[in-house]
Chain A
């Protein structure tokens, strides 16, 4: 019985899907241009290119998929 009292809330909690907790009307700050990284598409791609050409690492950049190499 003691176990059941501990387990029951856990089972119920497990069955309840989490509700979205940040409502659409609460996303004003997130939509502010100051929250946009990189600030511009071209600027982000450029910075990414400058790094990729001179470093061994590549991929999973914040600027997204680029093209070309310019490595030679």
Chain B
């Protein structure tokens, strides 16, 4: 028996490769320790919503529906439909194009499968408008462990987008990959915390075929890098308060290879009113730095040039309230956007752009 049999060699090689991947041990450990408390599928329910957004010369409204139904306590199917009816006379459109109307429809189909303490989900999405189409696939695995006190979430999404420009033959693609890793942790009988990471990579045509940059005041087509990678890390906590209330706090840090750094702070409070109703108030602050190739007005031509206000340095603040009885729901937000280096060209040289918007949603949910 001087030489091991080939089968043994293969087995040894597999075991060596397996043991060198530290994360596989982590996963194995997670699966083995999770066999104490059963995870559950999301509730069977139907939700219908009407949403309305108005601000900065843009109106977007439409219906949305979501239906979720489980079978044999192991499989849950979901379907969703969402519509944005857009009428835009935004600052970009008014100063560099003409007002337009469009309609975006989004369809979603999902299946969740529960096995022990593991939930596996597959979702398909399709979003269509006259000059943008996106097909997406989402995979999620969620594993409860530590007697149900901890939940590990792993996710991957991919989307294939097609950008076009109405009235021309222009068409270009974008590939996008998302990687998600999250941990939810019960800290005490009244406190729950979660830490979530999401990395996204895009490559393809990432600019906007309609928008222009400026060189010494003259409009030129925008030019973006063909790739972008971003990282987002969020920490959130929800605390139950004695008088039938809860408070949620969240912070998210964002960075990408274009030089954008973003900070999001969220605070929301809800409390019961006359047993059935929940009244809530929320505040959100968001601030970001500009992309390295963003300028309001370039002094000369550069390889990359953007004048997208979403890539400029700005902040926004939302203040809102919500009311629901578990079936009927209404929520309103007032949002203020303040740009630091994006001029409103209608105001002449020195006028920085700012606008306020009203966002509302009305919904009806049914459990069955």
Contact = CB atoms under 8 A, between A and B. Distances in A.
B319 interface: no
Given A50-B53, A57-B288, A60-B234, A35 B155 contact: no
A10 interface: no
Contact of A39 (B108, B196, B234, B278): B278
A30 B192 contact: yes
A59 B106 CA distance: 19
Interface residues of A, number: 42
- SS of B interface (majority): strand
A4 B238 CA distance: 42
Interface string A17-37: 000111110111110111101
B225 interface: no
Given A35-B238, A55-B310, A68 B136 contact: yes
Interface string B179-203: 0101000111110100011111000
A29 B186 CA distance: 11
B134 A59 contact: no
A26 B273 CA distance: 24
B264 interface: yes
Interface stretch (B9-17, B69-77, B121-129): B121-129
A45 B311 CA distance: 22
Contacts of A70: 84, 86, 104, 127, 129, 132
Interface in B258-299: 260, 262, 264, 268, 270-272, 278, 280, 286, 288, 291
Given A56-B291, A60-B252, A70-B129, A46 B49 contact: yes
Nearest to B291: A56
Contacts of A27: 186, 189
B329 interface: yes
Contact of B329 (A23, A43, A59): A43
Interface in A56-70: 56-62, 65-70
Contact of A43 (B49, B196, B248, B316): B49
A41 B250 CA distance: 18
Given A20-B147, A22-B188, A34-B246, A59 B230 contact: yes
Given A60-B254, A68-B104, 18 more contacts: A29-B189, A33-B326, A34-B246, A34-B270, A34-B278, A39-B329, A40-B324, A43-B361, A47-B359, A50-B359, A54-B316, A56-B260, A59-B180, A59-B199, A65-B140, A68-B106, A70-B129, A72-B208
